Amino acid sequence: MIVMKFGGTSVANFEAITRTIFIIGGRLDQKPIVVVSALSKVTDLLYRISDAAASKDLPQTKELLSQLRQRHVDLTSELLSQSVQKDEAIERVNELCDSLEGIAMAVCSLGELSDRNKAVIISTGEYLSSTIISYAMNAKGIRTKWVDARTMMITSESYLKGEPDMNAIAAKVPGVVAEAYEGMDAIITQGFVGVTSEGRPTVLGRGGSDYSASLIGMAVDAERIEIWTDVDGVRTADPRYVPNTKSLEQISFEEAAEMAHFGAKVLHPLTIEPAVKKNIPIYVLNSMNPSGKGTAILRNELIEDGVKSVSFKENIRVINIFSTKMINTSGFLRRVFEIFSESKVSVDLISTSEANISVTVDSSQNIDPVVAELSEFADVIVDDDKSQVSVIGKNIVKLNGMLKKTFTPLKKCNVYMISQGASFVNISFVVDREELNEVVCDLHHHLFEQPEELETF
> Which residues contribute to the site for ligand ASP (CB under 6 A)?
7-8, 37-38, 43, 125, 191-192, 206-209
Please name which of 102, 150, 98 lies closest in space to residue 123, comparing C-alpha atoms: 150
- Residues 308-327 contacting Mg ion, CB under 5 A: none
Q: What is the DSSP letter of 321?
A: E
Query: Which of the choices Mg ion, ligand ASP, none does residue 206 contact, using the CB cut-off of 5 to 8 A by kind?
Result: ligand ASP
Q: How far is the CB of 210 from Mg ion (least distance, A)?
A: 6
Query: How far apart (Å, rounded) are the C-alpha atoms in residues 240 and 262?
Result: 16
Query: Which amino acid, residue 245?
Result: T
Short-list 163, 161, 140, CA closest to 79: 140
> Which one of 3-11, 65-73, 196-204, 428-436 is the stretch in contact with Mg ion (CB under 5 A)?
3-11
d(CA 229, CA 82): 28
Interactions with Mg ion, residue window 206-245 (CB under 5 A):
207
Is the Cα dihedral 358, 361, 363, 367 positive or negative?
A: negative
Residue 233, phi-psi category: left (phi > 0), alpha (psi -120 to 50), beta (remainder): left
> Minimal distance in Å, beta carbon 210 to ligand ASP?
6
Question: Minimum Å distance from CB 69 to ligand ASP?
Answer: 18
Task: For 223-245, give the DSSP string.
Answer: SEEEEEESSSS-BSS-TTTSTT-
CB of 208 to ligand ASP, least distance (A): 5
Question: Residue 191 binds which entry of Mg ion, ligand ASP, none, with Cβ cut-offs from 5 to 8 Å by kind?
Answer: ligand ASP
Contact 14, 219 (CB under 8 A): no
- Interface with Mg ion (CB under 5 A), residue total 2
192 touches which of Mg ion, ligand ASP, none (CB within 5 to 8 A by kind)? ligand ASP
Shortest spacing between CB 254 and ligand ASP, in angstroms: 22
Round to whole Å and give the CA distance between 162 and 119: 10
Does 7 participate in binding Mg ion (rule CB under 5 A)? yes
- Closest approach, Cβ 267 to ligand ASP, in A, equals 10
**C-beta neighbour count of 324 within 10 angstroms:** 11
86: three-class secondary structure by DSSP: helix
Nearest distance, CB of residue 212 and ligand ASP, angstroms: 8
How far is CA 103 from its chain centroid? 27
What's the burial of 82, exposed, middle or buried (CB within 10 Å: 0-12/13-18/19+)? exposed
CA atoms within 13 A on the CB side of 281: 16
Give the range of 117-125, 128-136, 148-156, 200-208 binding Mg ion by CB under 5 A.
200-208
Residue 406 binds which of Mg ion, ligand ASP, none (CB < 5-8 A, kind-dependent) = none
Binding site for Mg ion (CB under 5 A): 7, 207
